[in-house]
Amino acid sequence: MSDNAYADYDEAAARAVAVDVDGGANRVALNETKDRPQTMPATRALRVAIVHDWLVTYAGAEKVLEQIIACFPDADVFSLVDFLDDRSFLRGKRATTSFIQKLPMARNKYRSYLPLMPLAIEQLDVSAYDLVISSSHAVAKGVLTGPDQVHISYVHSPIRYAWDLQHQYLEQSKLTSGLKSALARVILHYIRNWDIRTSNSVDHFVANSAFIARRIKKVYQRDAQVIFPPVDVEAFSLNTQKEDFYLTASRMVPYKKIDLIVEAFARMPGKRLVVIGDGPEMSKIRAKAAGNVEIMGYQPFAVLHDCMRRAKAFVFAAEEDFGISVVEAQACGTPVIAFGKGGALETVRDLSRSQPTGMFFHEQSAGAIEAAVDAFEQNTGRFSAQDCRANAQRFSAAHFRERFTEYVERAMPAVSARSWPVAAPAAALDAASQVKVLAIDQTGLLGGAELSLLEIAKNLKETMNVVLFCDGPFRIALEEAGVNVDVLDVPALHGISKDGKGLPKMRSLTGLVSLVRETCRRARNADIIYANTQRAMVVGAMAGLFARKPVVWHLRDIVSAEHFGGAQRAIIKWASKLGVDHVIANSDASAREFIALTHADAKRVDVVFNGISEAPFAALEGVSNAELRARFNLPLDAFLIGAYSRLASWKGQHVLLEAIAANPDMHAVLVGAALFGEDEYEAQLHAYVNEQGIAGRVHFLGFQRDIAACMKAVDVVAHTSITPEPFGRVIVEGMLAKRPVVASRAGGVVEIVDDGVNGMLCEPGDAQALAKTLAELQTNVQLRARLVENGYATARRKFGTRNYVQSVERVLAGVAGKRGKRK
């Protein structure tokens, strides 16, 4: 599989509409604001307003809004109306609404006030904001902004029913003739004129597909950057074993053309079709269904997901702006048979491309669908479930956030884009600096979680005391940084493992009581308890209850059955429910599993990416590669692949060794030790090396303090975890070391690596794919250079320490402040 194929496709699509962010056309568009002031007073953070058309449900446009808010959590939200019952995706925010909110029957008939919407959106006052982001499929882009404000409009579509779909809209609404038809045409004419006029007040347009970018160009005569909308790819799991049926799923409305799909399968009695969905066309569709068509009606997500995973192919006949269900099907490894127009052309790779994920038919008719299904059956061997999944990953929420934030940064170049999501008012940061924090961690060893806490403690050492539950190099590192640290060593707890095999017995419970008592005593002089690890959270939750102190847990694990035993997960669930006030997750993957396990309110969870200091890597810029290799006794001329983590089966060092065995010109460098009773695994690695005769090409360096030097000594950094990683610190470190990174496509990793752009992704545990990717990197110097350049930029922009520390500070101050107000 060519790992560059998908990136090449993105670039080609962007060139087709002259919206490549690195291209000349887009640079001209971004330079339109060159005369606008680009800096704000240093005493305050950037002020951001987000304007959405209306808030009445949670659909595709609202999923985009959710991710824009995730990029700018301190932004204020504006909307024509806000009748939401479930506000979790808005993080509890209340929108400032227009006068339509108070008009009669607005909750159910808000669309009837379409003629008033242009006036209403203009009455929303956003004059106090530096950056205005409109999420628009109707009138949101028409909000009034001034010459010193930047207005970026994410357009789901220009008003469809006023432009190219006007005649379809009038026909479906039975307004083709008569007085009502004339009135509707006059109103739509007025809206078109208003829509064109207000497009001039938008500084930068962003489209959800090249199809919509062409619409924007046609209607407004403006170029637009394509940033695909977010799809919750991780909610859909890959299945390579397909069953003998086809699937379509959609709301049953005329433009979805479900009736044509059903009619086509009525002509193919030997092929089974499953239909999921409901809507006004249900009776018409049922009437056309033959015996081989099963119409299931509306189904919950679990049923839809199951059918998508098992289906031979997903059939899609609508002309959509994007088409989220098409991507969701591919996320399950299911190829797509789609109408070849609109957004499907950008989300499906047909047989003319490498790694195809589906086929197109080019006419909305039953005959065309029938022919496409027959052609698909003749080519089923050309479709791979893994290719479908890899294609879907291009549309993940993490990918959207990175692309959108990057674009906003280009629009306001004098401002650090990654500081906006976590920027806090000066008063909030002042409050954070006064909060007395008791930080607790279960180990004295230096793992990823401890290195991340060390960064926090360095910056909060005036107000933070750290308590460790066992001694080790972490204590030394804290002391060297000037942090107050105590050790409460309880050997009886050291044998408790994640898998639940080491459940606490009487001796362990006695030790636990001692830990809680001592932690409680130290918490009396603190404002908040900050637990950095899972066992520390359990102790902290109990200590917080007794000491009447709020508890924040920094979640750095994916609390799934793959990582934790049943008993451990039960303890996590109930300890966090009873004794934890707030959770900081180190990735969306970690947050998602925690919420699924505990059913916690999403407002209790903040995602804060780990911050990793660039300083150790920058300090080595003048040191030659030969000098670094000599320092660790590594061969000077070999192509070295480095892996950096403790030696543990789930970390997958054995996968790298298998890949090295298949590439005789490569060497592996394993940095890390067996920390938590994993000596047997280390012995297995040594045995494998000897059995394969590759001992001369595998270098075990053990635990190393100077990770930056170790990474800069190799040619490629490999991350080989075989189960989902909660974050992937090693990946960011590899990017800062200016080395190309190859990583496992799972968990928090996909929130860091954009495959083929800033790193390479392989399926977890697939040694053959890893070997192939490493071989490509060894021979392709240009690819390595591109990955290094983009990876370094990603690491600095997304994972800087300043924003990481400020984000944690803000949460601690906020939780401590809320508890203080309740006292």
- Residues 83-100: tens digit of each pLDDT: 988 777 887 788 999 999
Q: Mapping DSSP to helix (H, G, I), strand (E, B) and coil, where does residue 624 land?
A: coil
pLDDT of residue 700: 96
What is the enclosing helix (H) or strand (E) of 741?
Answer: strand 741-744
Strand order, beta sheet including 582-585? 484-487, 464-468, 437-441, 528-531, 551-555, 582-585, 605-607
What letter would DSSP give residue 229? Answer: P
**Residue 13 forms part of a structural domain:** no
Q: Quick one: which of 794, 791, 804, 792 has its CA closest to 609? A: 804
pLDDT at 285: 94
**Tokens linked to 807:** 């984000």
Q: Is residue 21 situated within a structural domain?
A: no
What is the rounded distance in angstroms from the CA atom of residue 485 to the CA atom of residue 476? Answer: 9
Q: Is residue 812 part of a domain?
A: no
Structure tokens at 3: 């790992």
Angle between the N-to-C axes of helices 653-662 and 767-779, in degrees from 0 to 180, rounded to the nearest 10:
60
Tell me whether strands 639-644 and 716-718 are parallel, antiparallel or unpaired.
parallel
Domain range enclosing 702: 615-799
Indicate whether 171 and 247 sit together in one domain. Answer: no
Q: How far is CA 744 from the centre of its chain?
A: 15
Report the pLDDT value the prediction gives residue 480, as an integer from 0 to 100. Answer: 86
Question: So what's the pLDDT on residue 791?
Answer: 93
Q: Mean per-residue pLDDT for 142-163?
A: 90
* Final residue of a structural domain among 171, 201, 226: 226
Tell which wins on pLDDT, 83 or 251: 83
Cα 336 to Cα 106, 296, 379, 476: the distances in Å are: 39, 20, 13, 56
pLDDT of 29:
44
Instruction: Tell me what pLDDT residue 356 has.
Output: 94
- Reported as type and span, the H/E element at residue 152 is strand 150-155
C-alpha neighbours within 13 Å on the C-beta side of residue 19: 26
Question: How large is the angle between the packed helices 448-459 and 801-822, nearest 10 degrees?
Answer: 70
pLDDT score recorded for residue 30: 53
Q: What is the CATH number of the domain that holds 537?
A: 3.40.50.2000
First to last CA, the chain: 60
Judged against a pLDDT cut of 70, whether residue 4 lies above it is answered with: no
Q: Are residues 218 and 336 both part of a single domain?
A: no
Least confident of 68-77, 227-236, 487-496, 796-805: 487-496
Q: How far apart are CA 55 and CA 39, in angstroms?
A: 32
Q: Supply the pLDDT for residue 399.
A: 80
Residues 521 and 582 reside in one and the same domain = yes
Residue the block writes with tokens 């909000």: 143
Q: What percent of the chain has pLDDT over 70?
A: 88
Residues paired with residue 224 on neighbouring β-strands, in sequence order: 205
Does pLDDT of 28 surpass 60? no
Q: What residues form DSSP beta bridges with 205?
A: 153, 224
pLDDT in tens, 504-518: 555 566 778 889 999
Token code pair at residue 161: 């029913």
Instruction: Using the 3D structure, point to which of 594, 611, 628 is the last residue of a domain.
Output: 611
| Distance separating alpha carbons of residues 785 and 317, to the nearest angstrom | 42
Beta pairing, strands 716-718 & 698-702? unpaired
Tell me, what's the pLDDT at 642?
98
489 and 344 within one domain: no
Q: What is the DSSP letter of 80?
A: S
Q: What are the distances in angstroms from CA 232 to CA 1, 56, 594, 763?
A: 24, 21, 16, 19
Q: Is residue 30 assigned to a domain? A: no
Which pLDDT belongs to residue 819?
66
Higher model confidence: residue 10 or residue 335?
Answer: 335
pLDDT for the residue numbered 491:
63
Residue 456 CA: distances (Å) to CA of 439, 465, 466, 469, 732: 10, 11, 11, 18, 17
pLDDT score at 496? 52
Q: Stretch 285-312: mean pLDDT, rounded?
A: 93
**Which whole-number Å values give the CA distances from 305 to 236, 299, 513, in the listed order?**
7, 10, 44
Least Cα distance to 528 among 817, 232, 821, 223 occurs for: 817
Nearest to 753 by CA among 589, 592, 595: 589
Does residue 565 carry a pLDDT above 90?
no
**Is residue 333 within 8 Å of 309, Cβ to Cβ?**
yes
CB count, 10 Å around CB of 489? 14
592 and 656 within one domain: no
Question: Is the confidence at residue 13, as pLDDT, over 60?
Answer: no
Average confidence (pLDDT) over 770-785: 95
pLDDT of residue 508: 63
Q: Which of 240-244, 246-250, 818-822 has the lowest mean pLDDT?
A: 818-822
pLDDT 10s digits, 424-443: 444 444 555 579 999 999 99
**Whether residue 537 sits in one domain with residue 594:** yes
Is the pLDDT at 423 greater than 70? The verdict is no
In our burial notation (b when 16+ CB lie closer than 10 A, e otherwise), range 47-68 reads bbbbbbbbbbebebbbbbbbbb
From residue 252, alpha-carbon distances to 30, 328, 363 in Å are 41, 18, 19
pTM of the model: 0.55
Give the residue-averaged pLDDT of 573-595: 93
Query: Taking a C-beta distance cutoff of 8 angstroms, is the pair 406, 417 a contact?
Result: yes
The pair phi, psi for residue 565, each rounded to 5°, is: -75, 165
- The closest of 16, 657, 24 to 346, measured between CA atoms, is 16
In a domain, 73, yes or no: yes
- Encoding tokens for residue 823? 């006292």
Q: Is the pLDDT of residue 419 over 50?
A: no
Among 300-309, 326-335, 360-369, 400-409, the least confident range: 400-409
| Residues 606 and 620 both lie in one domain | no
Closest CA to 749 of 782, 717, 781, 779: 717
Tokens of 666: 């490569």
**Are 286 and 195 found together in one domain?**
no
Residue 245 and residue 377 share a domain: yes
480 contacts 461 by C-beta, under 8 angstroms: no
Closest CA to 240 of 30, 390, 92, 370: 390
Q: What is the pLDDT of residue 615?
A: 87
Distance between CA atoms of residues 48 and 45, nearest Å: 9
Confidence of residue 16 (pLDDT cuts 50, 70, 90): very low
Domain assignment present for residue 484? The answer is: yes
Q: For residue 578, what are its two tokens?
A: 């009873």
Same domain, yes or no: 661 and 760: yes
The top-scoring range by mean pLDDT among 29-33, 343-347, 374-378 is: 374-378
Same domain, 241 and 221: no
Mean pLDDT (the chain, rounded): 86
550 is a domain residue:
yes
Domain-terminating residue out of 595, 611, 627:
611
Buried b (16+ CB within 10 A) or exposed e, 189-211: eebbebbeebbebbbbbbbbbbb
Residue 739's pLDDT is: 97
Query: What integer is the mean pLDDT of 760-765?
Result: 95
For residue 44, the domain's CATH number is: 3.40.50
Of the candidates 717, 719, 645, 707, the residue with the CA atom closest to the CA atom of residue 676: 645
Q: Give the tokens for residue 79.
A: 């909307």
Strands (E), 418-480: 437-441, 464-468
Number of domains in the chain: 4
Q: Read off the tokens for 250.
A: 């959609």
What is the C-alpha separation between 5 and 186, in angstroms, rounded?
48
Question: Has residue 416 been placed in a domain?
Answer: no
Return the higher-pLDDT residue of 418 and 788.
788
* DSSP 8-state code for residue 46: P
- Rounded CA separation 125/134 (Å): 13
Question: Six-digit token pair at 253?
Answer: 């409305």
Q: Do 570 and 645 fall into the same domain? A: no
- pLDDT score recorded for residue 44: 52
pLDDT score for 14: 37
Which two tokens mark 590?
A: 């970690």
Say how far apart CA 553 and CA 540 lie, in whole Å. 9
